[in-house]
Amino acid sequence: MGAESSPKIVIVDESPIRAAILEEGLREAGYTEVVHLSEMQSLLARIYALDPDIIVIDLENPSRDSLEQMFQMSRAVRRPIAMFVDQSDAASIQASVDAGVSAYIVDGLKKERIKPILDLCVSRFNAFSKLQDELDRTKHALEERKVIDRAKGILMKLKGLTEEEAYVLMRSTAMREKKKIGEIAQSILTASELLK
Amino acid sequence: MSTPLHVGFIPLVDAAALIVAVDRGFAAEEGLDVTLVREVSWSNVRDKLNIGLFDAAHLLAPVAIASSLGIGHVKVPIVAPFNLGINGNAITVSPALHAAIMAELDGDRFDPMATARALARVVAARRKRGAVPVTFAMTFPFSTHNYQLRFWMAAGGVDPDEDVRLVVLPPPFMAETLAGGQIDGFCVGAPWNSIAVDRGVGHILHFVSDILVRAAEKVLAIRQGWADRNPEVVAALIRAAARGSAFVEENRTETARILAQPERIGVDAEVILRSLDGRLKISTDGTLRESGRYLLIGREGADRPDPVQAAWLYAQMARWRQISTSREALRTTMAVFRPDLYDAALGRGSEAGQGAAGPIGAFAGPAFDPEDVSGYLRSFTVPRRAS
């Protein structure tokens, strides 16, 4: 590997979306040699065939212990070691574990070349979890909306209310009982199931 | 005001004392607000403990030692003031390997020397045929499972580095990998051996208590620096864990129910209860085997860390060339296990409590003496083929 060439990076991640986000980020930053491995079968054989300089793995990946052992047992010359084993950068290691990503680096790769790659992984992993949170919130809001609509329907039918009146009734009940309107709607659904 | 703590664990029965301490409120009564965090890998537990995301963890005893010695990863001194379990592992093999070992067996099937010699013959026959070597899974390079498997097979003349393949798998993946045929056997803690038997994909060949009468397994691990700065919190955590382990021993059915919860271990309470009772179904035909030594939590002095156990693990690390020995490394290793903190927290003299620790009691080799580790190691010779 020449000093100017792009280090070869392998991403081990079972989430294809997150891996795509990371891969895109790395390519944009000028790292051209990036390979994503999602298949956990024969992972080590594939890693050795690719002979990467850096292996990035998500912390939720149960294959992490297997990788550590395989790297340790490896008789290959270019043996990957866990990032910052020299513990010179506690803040970076903390940031990456917080973000849910870890890395293994072959001996001899200079730290100033590793740092920007890891920083990029951390920011992309964080961006992904933010995206995931937003998605979860949206999904939750949508589900709550459905429950409220169904509860409204039940109230309209049972009490002969208009849609507006049914909603106002739920909202005022929620305020009086210091609960969320979604919770009131859910109780209405549960009660109507029980009383069927 | 209660102290917030984050404690990591791996879904295994020997996390019971900690889980019960939290879920039955013992930790809260000691003024601790403990959040238990279930993890998917020992690497994660180690890293999160090392950098302070966890204040304490359910940890493989050898990982606590490796971390303190700076072997395999970052050097972070760890203290183990409470022993979460003694024994508890078992060796499970596929029906095919079980049949092959039984066919070669000359002696009692629960005698580890007889099975290890039979394994040696199976391994040699496979090599002669040019077939792929027998593959065993264990849980981590620095694990009791790794050393127990190696100790067993080496006694029968199998070189664990040359004659078989040893791979690492997370405990919850053992049974399905055995079913898939990628491995022929494994050594893992409870309840994962029983899971393989229940799925009809494995036979329990040995309880690890066949191999070693008494083997320290998981410890409550805390960063030494943090423990030094927070002695009251550490003492409170030890007391909570001790109440937890006493509860486990006295209330196995309730313990099994607590551990069965999806966010704890997440397998059937009945399977967990079998491990706690040491009454295990060992083969798919329903054969039961019972042992009072299968897993010790909260009895026979299991709680109190024994530095001799740490020294034995150190000897295994040296035997399998993970470390080079030195007086200083041995001292560091033995100082990881802290019976003094245990005694102080519980206000006990060293001889009180659940009784004095018994010897390791291995089925092969001389009695272990921490004063003469090199003499002990010289007594083991694995026949090496030219490589």
DSSP B279: E
CATH topology for the A135-194 domain: Arc Repressor Mutant, subunit A (1.10.10)
- Residue A85: pLDDT band (50, 70, 90) is low
DSSP B299: S
Q: Report CA B232 to chain centroid distance, whole Å.
A: 28
In degrees, rounded to 5, the angle at the alpha carbon of residue A93 between the alpha carbons of residues A89 and A95 is 115
* Contact criterion met (CB < 8 Å) for A97 and B47: yes
Report pLDDT digits (tens) over B265-297. Answer: 999 999 999 999 999 999 989 999 999 999 999
The mean pLDDT of B297-323, rounded to a whole number, is 96
Report pLDDT digits (tens) over B194-220. Answer: 999 999 999 999 999 999 999 999 999
Q: Which residue of A has its CA nearest to B48?
A: A97
Per-position DSSP letters for B12-30, written without gaps between them: SGGGHHHHHHHHTTHHHHT
Q: Which residue has the higher pLDDT, B383 or A67?
A: A67
* Contact criterion met (CB < 8 Å) for A65 and B172: no
- Residue A110: pLDDT band (50, 70, 90) is confident
Give CA separation, B125 vs B96, B184, B274, B339, in Å: 14, 15, 36, 47
Residue B167 at interface with chain A, using a CB cutoff of 8 Å: yes
Please provide the CATH number assigned to the domain covering A9-133: 3.40.190
3-state SS record for chain A: CCCCCCCCEEEECCCHHHHHHHHHHHHHCCCCCEEEECCCCCHHHHHHHHCCCEEEEECCCCCHHHHHHHHHHCCCCCCEEECCCCCCCHHHHHHHHHHCEEEEEECCCCHHHHHHHHHHHHHHHHHHHHHHHHHHHHHHHHHHHHHHHHHHHHHHHHHCCCHHHHHHHHHHHHHHCCCCHHHHHHHHHHHHHHCC
Which among B42, B48, B73 has the least Cβ separation from residue A65?
B42
For a pLDDT cut of 70, what percent of chain A falls above it? 92
List the single best residue of B149, B168, B174 to mutate versus A (max A Cβ within 10 A): B168
Token representation of residue A105: 């680096």
Q: Which residue of B has its CA nearest to A73?
A: B141
How far is residue B93's CA from residue B321's CA, in Å, rounded to a whole number? 26
* Contact criterion met (CB < 8 Å) for B40 and A60: yes
Residue B162 at interface with chain A, using a CB cutoff of 8 Å: no
- Give the start-to-end residue ranges of the domains of chain B: 3-85+216-275+296-306+321-377, 89-214
- Give the start-to-end residue ranges of the domains of chain A: 9-133, 135-194
Residue A97 at interface with chain B, using a CB cutoff of 8 Å: yes
Instruction: Look at residue A2 in the predicted model and tell me its pLDDT.
Output: 43
Do residues A21 and A34 lie in contact, with contact meaning Cβ atoms separated by under 8 Å?
no
Q: What residues of B are in contact with residue A73 (Cβ under 8 Å)?
A: 141
List the single best residue of B39, B50, B51 to mutate versus A (max A Cβ within 10 A): B51
The mean pLDDT of B293-322, rounded to a whole number, is 96
Q: Name which of A49-63, B8-22, B88-102 the model is least confident about.
A: A49-63
| H or E stretch at B125 | helix B112-129
Q: Which residue of A has its CA nearest to B320?
A: A73
Q: Report CA A16 to chain centroid distance, whole Å.
A: 10
Could you identify the residue written with the tokens 């986000």? A21
Token representation of residue B40: 């998917």
* Contact criterion met (CB < 8 Å) for B41 and A61: yes
How far is residue B324's CA from residue B321's CA, in Å, rounded to a whole number? 7
Q: Which residue of B has its CA nearest to A41?
A: B182
Instruction: Look at residue B352 in the predicted model and tell me its pLDDT.
Output: 52
DSSP B34: E
Which among A59, A65, A97 has the least Cβ separation from residue B51?
A97
Mean pLDDT, chain A, integer: 86
How far is residue B89's CA from residue B179's CA, in Å, rounded to a whole number? 19
Would you tell me which CATH number, out of the four given (3.30.1330.60, 3.40.190.10, 3.40.50.300, 3.40.250.10), belongs to the domain B3-85+216-275+296-306+321-377? 3.40.190.10
* B314: closest CA of chain A, how far (Å): 18
Q: What residues of B are in contact with residue A87 (Cβ under 8 Å)?
A: 74-75
- Residue B16: pLDDT band (50, 70, 90) is very high
Question: Is the overall model pTM greater than 0.95, yes or no?
Answer: no
Complex ipTM value: 0.85
List the single best residue of A42, A57, A63, A69 to mutate versus B (max B Cβ within 10 A): A69
* A196: closest CA of chain B, how far (Å): 32
User: Domain B89-214: which CATH class?
Assistant: alpha beta
Q: Which residue of A has its CA nearest to B73?
A: A85
Handedness of CA B137, B314, B381, B322 (dihedral sign): positive
